[in-house]
Amino acid sequence: MRTPSSDMRSTPGVGSRPSRRQVLRASLIGSIAVYVAPLGSQAYASLFEQQLLVRPDWDAAAGVLKYRIDGLSKVTGAKVFARDIRARDMPHWPQQQAHALVLRTTRADCSYDGFDLSLLGDELKPDRVVTANDLTRDGLRFPDFYGEDMLLPEGKTPAYLGQAVAILIFQDFVRFRFAKEKLQFNDAVIRYGAITGPLQRDPWEAVRFVRVGGATPHDDDVFSSLKDAPFSPGYEKHEPVWPAPARDGNLAARGMYHASAIGEELEHPPADWVVLRRRYATQSADTAALEPDNANGWYDSEKQELHLVVPTQSPQEMAQRAATMLQQSRIGLKQLFLHPCYTVGYGSKDSFALPYYALVAAVYGGGRPVRLANDRFEQFQAGLKRHQFNIDYTVAVERGTGLLRSLRAGIIANGGGRKNVSDLLVRVGATSLGSAYYFPKTDVATTAVASRAVDAGSARGYGALETMTATELMMDEIAGELGLDPIEFRLRNVLKTGMRNTQGAIPTGTLRAETVMQKARVHPLWSGRLARKQVYEAAHPGKYYGVGFGCIQWRFGNGVEGSLSRVELAGDGRIAVFNSGAEIGTGTSSGQAVACVRWLGRPADAVELAVTDWTDLPVETSGDPRKMSQDEQDRLAQNPRWSPAYASASSASNSSYYLSHTTREAARIVFVHGLWPAAIAIWASDAAAGSRVPALEEARWREGSLTAGGLEPLPLARLAQEAHRRGLVTGAAVHGFNRWRWAEAEFVVNGLSVRAPIDALSVRYGEGSDASAATAPGRYQVLDRQAVFFPPTQNYNAMVGLSTAAGTLAELVVDAASGQVTLLAHHTLLDCGTMLVPDLVSGQIQGGTATGIGLALHESMPLYEDGPGNGTWNFNRYHLPRGSDVATWTQTAEILQPLSEDEPPKGMAEAAAIPIMAAIVNGIAHAIGHRFRTLPVTPDQIMAVLG
Amino acid sequence: MSLPTRPLAVTINGHRRGPIDVPEGLMMIDVLHEMLGLTGPRLGCGIGICHACVVIWDRDDRTSEEVRTCITGAHFFEGKSIRTIEGIARRDDTGRVLALSPVQQAVLDKFSFQCGYCTPGFVMAATVLVERLARVPVPRSEVEATVSAALEPHICRCTGYVRYYQAVRDVILATPGLTRDAG
């Protein structure tokens, strides 16, 4: 095991909203050394991806990856999940595994008065019970992000259903198992006192986005979030109170002036406007990642070391929070060893609380490793949920032209008991509702309410899924009102490249929703739908046939993205990639390997993810990248090591673009400053090459060899050997920062000035170089940037960068006798730029549409007492889509050809989940003539309409 | 500890394990995970719905079937022979994989899974199906329906099922003796 060097510094994540100076060179957080530790043994093979991955099987001629590089482990039942790991798999841990469970309240309307474990008797009595008193005594408290009361003290009213009150630790599995059987579903265990009613709290967030556009979609705005800013209200009796309008007042007053004008116009519209007001509701749902939350930890009190095996979508963030939590306690800690594993979350393992309970359990484990692993009932009770949305739209459209004129929206999302990411998520939801359409005027107010529901988190779609679905249902309603074909109506209003969105920002890149709509309009599922309805219903009495459409222009990312990547080339041509992102099942590891192809001719041979040790690339961060002023950013940027944000959590949609950007840029540096000059040197020494020096633009990889202008193809191994021999660049570590566009910086590499879309760069020279040039441990030379161009802070309010267009046609049948909806087929059209791994893209579409089907037709839970917080929910009463629900054999998809061969890959996994939701609900309307506005659309709802 | 126990001996992946003392009432998945280190059969729901935890029970009459270990007591398996996902590929003495089964290979080739948590269950179901079809072939025209019926109980959250179903269909169609002409 490695020992800490004296010069290791911390690795915070952007999600933690760093508020103090955090120096990031490696792994020292405060006084605690933090390791994502290579273990080099059986556990090493179990835990660390470089051992779980196999060399990519690359078909050079076809240019495709033959297998997922984590595939062999997963298909043979290897221990790849944190859930699979026990103490015996960790050779340096004590081998006796202890187990823990968390006692949780099932009421939130009265005081909590303790618990009674007498039903366990002496035999099943826990070996250690941890309560709020222990935490208070030892100074252990939740990281700030999670709020107060990690364990609820007696006498307080639970803030939410399922709030934790105690951790019970058993030193062996059998007693744990049987004790749990007695405790689970037993209402007598927790004692409650006086009725207090649920806690009343201010919302987690309320914010308003107002825009009054110029004369055309291309003119400057009169008022907008980008030009001015979004603004927030005050609160009275926990309700938002928006400021009084004033034309010449402060920002909020001016915003309200324009909002009032929009409202006035909708109340008293011009004669040729049609104004529709509709209310939509989407459900609370479980992310239902199949691996329930878990962690396994061991606290070595003698050495003051804590070891944690965790599934997480954000290892940097977890390292930061865990170390800080312990540092601020009276528990002695010198070193923290964090072992992130493959995982899956759909948002449920992004900023989730369970690892910190596991950390506490480990601290009180009496020297034994303690495993805390939710079963499915506990996962429903305590896992992060999808926000429930109520969406109130008022939309005006000009009857004569069919053009959208104005939109007012009130959006309320239920964030549950803890804030988590509710503040950010409702902003994303609010700023996404414009989707693929141009609105000249918009007034969008959104609130994330605090409630006694189970915490809601960053579930797939991140608020945009809900608002965009409502928008798509509204589009069909308006088209119906105008008597227009729904796709024709959409095309009249489609947001085209160069137009401003609801924040007044112009999305980056080419918008292709129009292409998606045009293709859908001529697809046989759509063009023949009326005739097929007649034929089908005639042949199938008691069945109603329908086809619906949904389309979105979906931006991915959250406006503050950081990513690190290191690409290294060995002397024999082997390529290794190290990236800060984590594998969450979407194929990130494969995607990162393939991201090397553009510049290195083939994918990486080895990929290590969730890397937190960036000793070779010192980057510092401070301040809140979302809230800092331009002056503050300009001042901080004078430090050549500073960046506004460090490393993002992994999500299904950010890996292909945000994470692979840095990998591609690192590979580009290695190519331009290593392989290319090596090739020039080889060709120059070859008499056949003549005297002509090819230009870089002529460079082409052909089946793993580099050629240019007809010169001899040179295999990567030969180039790598030459680059090393000449001491050229053979490794590059880069950091990228994106605030809806990438930061750029200038560096001098080997005497050449370079400007690249990165903000930090270290390079490693080949074996033949003078090692004394190295300034970092891994023989890297850290380059001070000569100039940096960060995206302006105001850019955060744009809330749009690159975006993905997706549309789905759904063909379905409604059974008149049962109200059951059966999908006959669906067809998805998707623009996702250049695909990294086509098979993974196709798989993501299939998985995404299944998610959308579940949310449109099946998945739902009550928010409160009858909901999952009561601990009785499982898959027996929460229907996840099965094979028979998703049109397995008949679904199809078309990926739009990229606009150019170097168009970047775009995030798409979440995008594919959204349009099918509206397509189904709109298809039901086509089938039975009724528009549903509450999801999911259940057989009961349908039967209530059909009678 | 005085919790009543009974000995349990099971043949797992061709190796006789036990007898070991197992508390009465413990589910098989707990024995596999906590006592035998076999974590491939995964806990998804714990109530027999999702089928991520299935193992193959090889019956004396040479038929095979899936059994959900999260709702089946460990002692049900006394004296029986089962396979877990860890025993499906051919391995050498050190446990290194020498060759995947046709089902595993097809699932890998098709990029069938994403997170892979449910993969063991799907592989087991498909393996049982292939073994059943070897005894009782189906008409080629019924292969897709047969695959759908066999895999329907298994829940996957990531993939939308398409690539699992296609992989298993392809194995069946490519393996002589599993299908017959209609009629």
- Contact of B26 with chain A, judged by CB distance below 8 Å, is answered with yes
**Could you tell me which of A421, A433, A438 has the C-alpha nearest to residue A464?**
A433
Q: Which position has the higher pLDDT, A35 or A946?
A: A946
Could you give the 3-state DSSP secondary structure of residue A779?
Answer: coil
Strand order in the sheet with A98-104: A28-29, A32-35, A335-341, A305-311, A294-300, A370-373, A98-104, A164-170, A128-130
Question: Using 50, 70 and 90 to split pLDDT, how confident is the model at A778?
Answer: confident
CATH of B94-178, one of 1.10.150.120, 2.50.20.10, 1.10.357.10, 3.40.50.150: 1.10.150.120
Is it the case that residue A403 has pLDDT exceeding 90? yes
| Cα–Cα dist A65/A59, whole Å | 6
Binary contact (A843, B2; C-beta < 8 A): no
Percent of chain A with pLDDT over 90: 73
Q: What is the chain A residue with the closest CA to B70?
A: A375
**Could you tell me which of A725, A734, A616 has the C-alpha nearest to residue A681?**
A725
Is it the case that residue A39 has pLDDT exceeding 90? no
B114 vs chain A: nearest CA distance in angstroms? 5
For residue A12, the model assigns a pLDDT of: 28
B76 vs chain A: nearest CA distance in angstroms? 18
Is it the case that residue A42 has pLDDT exceeding 50? no
Question: Using 50, 70 and 90 to split pLDDT, how confident is the model at A690?
Answer: low
> B5-87 and B94-178: same fold?
no
For A381, how many CA atoms within 13 A lie in the half-sphere containing its CB?
Answer: 22
Binary contact (A883, B115; C-beta < 8 A): no
For residue A829, the model assigns a pLDDT of: 98
| Cα–Cα dist A581/A337, whole Å | 18
Which CATH number is associated with domain B5-87? 3.10.20.30
Contacts of B112 in chain A (CB under 8 A): 843
Please check whether residue A164 is in contact with residue A150, taking contact to mean a CB–CB distance below 8 angstroms. yes
Binary contact (B158, A123; C-beta < 8 A): no
A628 vs chain B: nearest CA distance in angstroms? 37
Contacts of B162 in chain A (CB under 8 A): 843, 846, 886, 888, 891
Is it the case that residue A651 has pLDDT exceeding 80? no
| Alpha helix positions (H), A528-568 | 529-539
- Mutation target to probe the B interface, by most B beta carbons within 10 A, among A185, A290, A651 is A290
A844 vs A304, A907, A908, A911, A931, CA distance in Å? 43, 10, 8, 10, 29
Binary contact (B115, A585; C-beta < 8 A): yes
- Mutation target to probe the A interface, by most A beta carbons within 10 A, among B30, B158, B173 is B158
Number of Cβ within 10 Å of residue A497's Cβ equals 12
DSSP category for residue A366: T
- Contact of B73 with chain A, judged by CB distance below 8 Å, is answered with no
Is it the case that residue A171 has pLDDT exceeding 80? yes
Report, as an integer, the average pLDDT of A330-345.
83
Contacts of A847 in chain B (CB under 8 A): 114, 157-160
Q: What is the pLDDT of residues A411-450, one digit of tens each?
A: 999 999 999 999 999 999 999 999 999 999 999 999 999 9
Is it the case that residue A776 has pLDDT exceeding 80? no
The beta-carbon neighbor of B107 closest among A75, A84, A847 is A75
Question: Using 50, 70 and 90 to split pLDDT, how confident is the model at A516?
Answer: very high
| Cα–Cα dist A122/A222, whole Å | 73
Could you give the 3-state DSSP secondary structure of residue A218?
Answer: coil
- Contact of B182 with chain A, judged by CB distance below 8 Å, is answered with no
Q: What is the dihedral of CA A427, A429, A435, A438, to 10 degrees?
A: -50
User: How far does chain B reach from its first CA to its final CA, in angstroms?
Assistant: 63
Binary contact (B42, A291; C-beta < 8 A): yes
Residue-wise DSSP of A309-327: EEE-S-HHHHHHHHHHHHH
**Could you tell me which of A834, A839, A841 has the C-alpha nearest to residue A901?**
A834
For A225, how many CA atoms within 13 A lie in the half-sphere containing its CB?
Answer: 28
Please check whether residue B127 is in contact with residue B56, taking contact to mean a CB–CB distance below 8 angstroms. yes
| Cα–Cα dist A421/A396, whole Å | 32
Domain ranges of chain B: 5-87, 94-178
Q: For chain B, which residues score pLDDT lower than 50?
A: none
Q: How many CB pairs under 8 A join A and B?
A: 195
Is it the case that residue A18 has pLDDT exceeding 60? no
Among A316-330, A352-366, A512-526, the range scoring the smallest mean pLDDT is A316-330
A343 vs chain B: nearest CA distance in angstroms? 7
For residue A502, the model assigns a pLDDT of: 95
Q: What is the chain A residue with the closest CA to B154?
A: A882
The model's pTM is 0.91
Report, as an integer, the average pLDDT of A14-41.
46
Identify whether A94 is preceded by a cis peptide bond (ω within 30 of 0): no
Binary contact (B42, A290; C-beta < 8 A): yes
For residue A58, the model assigns a pLDDT of: 57
Please check whether residue A448 is in contact with residue A215, taking contact to mean a CB–CB distance below 8 angstroms. no
Q: What is the pLDDT of residues A606-639, one digit of tens each?
A: 888 878 778 889 999 988 998 899 999 999 999 9
For residue A2, the model assigns a pLDDT of: 28
For residue A317, the model assigns a pLDDT of: 82
For A349, how many CA atoms within 13 A lie in the half-sphere containing its CB?
Answer: 32
Number of Cβ within 10 Å of residue A713's Cβ equals 16
Is it the case that residue A10 has pLDDT exceeding 50? no
Q: What is the pLDDT of residues A217-261, one digit of tens each?
A: 999 999 999 999 999 999 999 999 999 999 999 999 999 999 999
DSSP category for residue A92: T
Say if residue A3 is exposed, middle or buried (CB neighbours under 10 Å; 0-12, 13-18, 19+): exposed
**Residue B115 backbone class (left: φ over 0; alpha: ψ -120 to 50; beta: rest):** alpha
Q: What is the pLDDT of residues B98-135, one digit of tens each?
A: 999 999 999 999 999 988 999 999 999 999 999 999 99
* Tokens (6 digits) for A837: 């791994």
Q: What is the pLDDT of residues A56-98, one digit of tens each?
A: 555 666 665 565 557 888 999 988 888 999 999 887 889 999 9
For residue A802, the model assigns a pLDDT of: 83
Question: Using 50, 70 and 90 to split pLDDT, how confident is the model at A648?
Answer: confident
Q: Which position has the higher pLDDT, A613 or A661?
A: A661
Binary contact (A585, B116; C-beta < 8 A): yes
Question: Using 50, 70 and 90 to split pLDDT, how confident is the model at A910?
Answer: confident
Taking each helix axis from N to C end, the angle separating B119-135 and B102-109, rounded to the nearest 10 degrees, works out to 130
Question: Using 50, 70 and 90 to split pLDDT, how confident is the model at A664?
Answer: very high
Binary contact (A874, B152; C-beta < 8 A): no
Please check whether residue B96 is in contact with residue B27, taking contact to mean a CB–CB distance below 8 angstroms. no
Report, as an integer, the average pLDDT of A893-903.
91
